Chain A
Amino acid sequence: MHLQTAEYDLSSHADVYEPSEDSFLFLDALEEEFGNLVDLKPLNIVEIGSGSGVIITSLAKALKNANFFAVDINMSACKATQMTGELNATAIQPLCMDLLGQFKENMFDVIVFNPPYVVTDSEELCGNGINRAWAGGKDGREIIDKLLPKIPNILSCKGIFYLLLLKENKPKEVIDFMFTLGFAHKIIKERKLLGEYLYIVKFNK
């Protein structure tokens, strides 16, 4: 199964992160996972920090009979995701939200997260602009670490969580922490891209 990359047009959304090598690596990983995703028969799928919306929309184009949600802290990104959904004739529900704090518990069968992973000063984690697309604070982990403890309350019991990590994020620490929450892991893809060593990790129970 080929996961066709969704069309997008960010010409009216200058303050939204443009899909880049990390986004396309994520799509490659989801393509590899496609058979497993079909078998899972997911009902609700969400992307955190959807930006342009290219990842969730590509998934929505390929996977039928699921509800697709996309949250972003940047309202401009929510609008871009909404437009990308339209451009590809898919139904994506955008919401402006900080992570998934206002959803009822255990609603999602699939979570996709390409986080702000760049190592920055903690002070850069402010506002709701494009800086939030990459600024990760200490070890590039501050936002990732905010989400991880909540995963058991967000995912359904059969749920899968896909996370992109940078080598500097110390993936082993993340994997070990998720293990303490009862999650097994599998590295779906790893690739060195323009000086960044990236991993796509799958977590499930």
Chain B
Amino acid sequence: MSEALWIIACMVPAGMAVTYVWRLLGVMAVAHIDPESHVLLWVRAVSTALVAALVMRIVIAPSGVLADIGLVSRLAAIAVGIGVFYVTRRSTNIATFASVAALGVLALLVG
């Protein structure tokens, strides 16, 4: 319990403040900023690449239960998701479920 409270105390500056500052800046900026400025495009590119990198890290170097499933199965499940996304005319929801289902099937068949 005390460990949890210590983590939460650290989370307020190192998780909450550093996250919400960008939301606040967004609200302040929207009334003034040119929504087409190149600075924002760069920010968008970096944030997109960052999340893509985070996805890749979870897929190639997972921790916990996911690590028990082989790398090939994990990569193949992502590929299935992307394939289903285009087959279903860009349905994020169906493709997400298909990707997860593919991982389960591959884990049982291939490991």
Our verdict on whether A and B bind, yes or no, reads no
Identify the A interface with B (CB < 8 A). none
